[in-house]
């Protein structure tokens, strides 16, 4: 999978000093080694990933290099000075392209959890509806103040204040017409199973264990999953591979270590399943990180 360049589309000029400073701060933050609740991405080779499951709403900020994202409706290009918005869980194709000068693709991803969306909904004094709900590319500068506050809070280790700042970004996006962010959504059964397996990917999950954890009989579980057009076996494998992708994109772990952490005793089997699922060798996105 390779995306053709979008016509008449260039990397946006970073016009304001305030935005330049914010991008520099974000880049410095993204390059630190310590872990944090956000996603820090660093990759040194271009790569395409097919049908990546985003399990939450997501804000992604390329800081070096740029990306193309495609869903079932549209294809967009995002560069430094812009924010990629996925307003709800979805599946997308992604191409990350390193910066020509530095040779790296570097980005920060901010998963938008349900408790943040719930807090934002409580502050909206009108029926939530209308507007757009698909993936989008939005200018960063209109959200610079909230993102600076978010970065201050993250650097101070104040996660509550960081969440409050993300609420500000969400409300700003909502006011710009991206109302799909705040549409109430009931998690699908498959997403619940995926999250459960991803929390303990090494475990040898059996149907009986999943049934007990979800609180459903085997027949009811199979019927609901069939309605969502997925099997339990595929869900478990997808959850493991998705967690493996996350580790490859956000850590410097070698492929062998990632395979072991997501329940694969054989690195070759992990590599084969990963290629089948995402259309790329795990070594293309592993070793130095990359969403």
How many domains does the chain fold into?
2
Within this chain, do residues 175 and 195 fall inside the same structural domain, yes or no? Answer: no
Within this chain, do residues 136 and 228 fall inside the same structural domain, yes or no? Answer: no
Q: What is the CATH number of the domain that holds 243?
A: 1.10.10.60
pLDDT for position 14: 44
Q: Which residues pair with 60 in a beta bridge?
A: 84, 109
Within this chain, do residues 52 and 145 fall inside the same structural domain, yes or no? Answer: yes
What pLDDT, in 10s, does the model give residues 163-190?
999 999 999 999 999 999 999 888 889 9
Report if residue 9 sits inside a domain. no
Report if residue 24 sits inside a domain. yes
Is the pLDDT score of 7 beyond 70?
A: no
Report if residue 7 sits inside a domain. no
CB 176 within 8 A of CB 130: no
User: 51 — alpha (psi -120 to 50), left (phi > 0) or beta?
Assistant: left
Within this chain, do residues 217 and 265 fall inside the same structural domain, yes or no? Answer: yes
CB atoms within 10 A of CB 10: 9
CB atoms within 10 A of CB 125: 5
At 7, give phi and psi (nearest 5°). Answer: -70, 145
Within this chain, do residues 166 and 208 fall inside the same structural domain, yes or no? Answer: no
- Residue 27 has which token pair? 């880049």
CB 71 within 8 A of CB 35: no
CB 88 within 8 A of CB 185: yes
- Residue 129 has which token pair? 């509806």
Domain final residue, candidates 130, 163, 182: 182
- Residue from 59, 29, 14, 10 nearest 291 by CA: 59
Is the pLDDT score of 36 beyond 70?
A: no
What pLDDT, in 10s, does the model give residues 202-261?
999 999 999 999 999 999 999 999 999 999 999 999 999 999 998 888 788 899 999 999
Report if residue 212 sits inside a domain. yes
Question: If you search the block for the tokens 């009931």, which residue do you land on?
Answer: 186
Within this chain, do residues 125 and 32 fall inside the same structural domain, yes or no? Answer: yes
pLDDT category, 132, cuts 50, 70, 90? confident
Within this chain, do residues 40 and 156 fall inside the same structural domain, yes or no? Answer: yes
3-state secondary structure of 112: strand
pLDDT for position 130: 75
**Whole-Å CA distances, 23 to 35, 76, 182:** 20, 21, 27
Domain final residue, candidates 182, 200, 228: 182
Cα(168)–Cα(201) distance, integer angstroms: 34
Report if residue 4 sits inside a domain. no
Report if residue 6 sits inside a domain. no
3-state secondary structure of 60: strand
Within this chain, do residues 74 and 140 fall inside the same structural domain, yes or no? Answer: yes
H or E element in which residue 224 lies:
helix 218-227
- Residue 77 has which token pair? 């290009």
Within this chain, do residues 28 and 156 fall inside the same structural domain, yes or no? Answer: yes
Q: What is the CATH number of the domain that holds 52?
A: 2.60.120.10
DSSP state of 140: S
Domain final residue, candidates 182, 203, 225: 182
Domain that includes residue 275, residue range: 189-285
Within this chain, do residues 78 and 110 fall inside the same structural domain, yes or no? Answer: yes
Within this chain, do residues 172 and 147 fall inside the same structural domain, yes or no? Answer: yes
Report if residue 220 sits inside a domain. yes
Is the pLDDT score of 16 beyond 80?
A: no
Report if residue 203 sits inside a domain. yes
Is the pLDDT score of 279 beyond 60?
A: yes
Is the pLDDT score of 131 beyond 80?
A: no
Within this chain, do residues 177 and 209 fall inside the same structural domain, yes or no? Answer: no
């Amino acid at each position: 999978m390779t995306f053709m360049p979008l016509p008449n589309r260039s990397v946006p000029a970073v016009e304001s000093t305030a935005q330049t400073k914010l991008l520099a701060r974000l880049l410095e933050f993204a390059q630190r080694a310590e872990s944090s609740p956000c996603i820090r991405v660093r990759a040194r080779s271009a790569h395409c990933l097919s049908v990546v499951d985003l399990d939450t709403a997501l804000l992604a900020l390329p800081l070096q290099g740029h990306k193309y994202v495609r869903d079932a409706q549209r294809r967009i290009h995002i560069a430094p000075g812009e924010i990629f918005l996925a307003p709800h869980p979805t599946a997308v194709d992604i191409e990350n392209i390193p910066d020509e000068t530095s040779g790296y693709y570097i980005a920060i991803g901010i998963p938008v959890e349900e408790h943040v969306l719930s807090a934002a909904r409580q502050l909206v004094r009108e029926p939530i509806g209308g507007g757009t709900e698909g993936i989008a590319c939005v200018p960063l500068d209109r959200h610079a103040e909230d993102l600076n506050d978010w970065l201050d809070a993250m650097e101070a280790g104040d996660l509550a204040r960081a969440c409050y700042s993300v609420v500000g970004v969400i409300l700003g996006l909502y006011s710009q017409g991206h109302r799909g962010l705040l549409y109430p959504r009931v998690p699908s059964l498959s997403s619940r199973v995926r999250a459960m397996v991803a929390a303990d990917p090494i475990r040898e999950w059996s149907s009986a264990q999943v049934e007990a954890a979800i609180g459903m009989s085997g027949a009811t579980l199979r019927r609901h999953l069939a309605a969502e057009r997925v099997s339990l076996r595929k869900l478990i494998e997808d959850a493991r591979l998705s967690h493996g992708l996350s580790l490859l994109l956000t850590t410097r772990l070698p492929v062998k270590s990632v395979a072991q952490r997501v329940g694969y005793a054989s690195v070759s089997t992990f590599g084969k399943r990963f290629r089948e699922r995402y259309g790329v060798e795990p070594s293309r996105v592993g070793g130095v990180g990359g969403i």
